[in-house]
Amino acid sequence: MVGILIFLITNIGKAKASPKFGQTVYSRMHHPRSSRQKLLVATVAITTAVAVVTPLMNVLHRSIYLGQRFDTSAWRSVLVDTEIFSSLLTSLRYAIFSIVVSSIVGLLGASAIVYGSSRYQFVNLITSIPIVLSAVTLGLGLIITFDVNPIDWRGSWLMMPIAHCLVAIPIVIRIISPVLRDLPNDLRDASRTLGATTWQMWRTIDLRIITPALITAAAIACAISLGEFGASSFLVRRNNETLPLTISRLLSRPGDSIQAQAYAISTLLIVVCIGIIAIVDYRDSNERGV
């Protein structure tokens, strides 16, 4: 499902590519006019909101209710539990690692796809594999690949953040590539006429224009790392448990209070991820002047 969604987003972005510099731009956004159109839009919006919000609210409800009784002890225990705090720090470290590595590799990969010749198009195909494959398969592949000398990383902390990066990099590439592809050549031609080198053109023109997309991609990579579970479940060690793995461990143990802790941690992850997306969306809206 995620693979299909990314495929549709990528191809829609290509279909709506920006016109060349100097061409007249016509808006393709259509607002509902008739009452039937408005009713259809409202129905779809409300149905989608209910389908998305209801499970999230149910998680919050279970974190503050034990049976039929209101109880915030799960939240208090989460805030003072040293193991949960350690998992939080681990998740944050891996998220920062994923932001840095995924942004750099994703930018290089997008540049190879857009600027390179046709022989570099295989990069686009290869980076599509982690999208369409299960993250569990990816984690299993990492285990059986890096378990023999000279590269024996089974006990290394790098295994899990690398898995997070492998999941995030394809998304980063598909966020940056359309922006690179739509950069106006007129600006490059003008700077080349003025004697700018290729590096100067890329730094002063391309990088400045794609910076918002790069920030968005980094934020998405952070959210992916914080919520990644499939590959991490194969690579977990006692000292590198992340929040999603902690949630799974707590849910597998008996006791309403213990499971309420898992729901409380889930609520924290929901709030953080929604906050990341909201900040990115707010920033994009301000840049568009909306």
Give the pLDDT band (50/70/90) at residue 287.
Answer: low
Predicted pLDDT at 25: 42
Predicted pLDDT at 143: 82
- Asked whether 224 and 168 are in contact (CB, 8 A), the reply is yes
Predicted pLDDT at 171: 92
- Asked whether 248 and 236 are in contact (CB, 8 A), the reply is no
Predicted pLDDT at 11: 46
The residue type found at 36 is R
Tokens 């977990």 identify what position? 236
Helix (H) or strand (E) holding 194: none
Predicted pLDDT at 217: 92
Predicted pLDDT at 278: 86
Quick: pLDDT tens for 222-251: 999 999 888 888 888 777 889 999 999 999
- Asked whether 132 and 3 are in contact (CB, 8 A), the reply is yes
Write down the domain spans for the chain.
36-288
Tell whether the model's pLDDT for residue 255 goes beyond 70. yes
Please report, rounded to a whole number, the percentage of residues in the chain having pLDDT higher than 90: 25
> Whole-model pTM above 0.85?
no
CATH class of 36-288: mainly alpha
Which ranges in the chain belong to alpha helices (H)? 2-15, 35-64, 73-80, 82-115, 122-126, 129-132, 135-145, 159-181, 185-193, 198-201, 207-227, 232-235, 243-251, 256-288
Average pLDDT rounded to a whole number, residues 94-116: 91
Chain centroid offset of residue 245 CA = 18
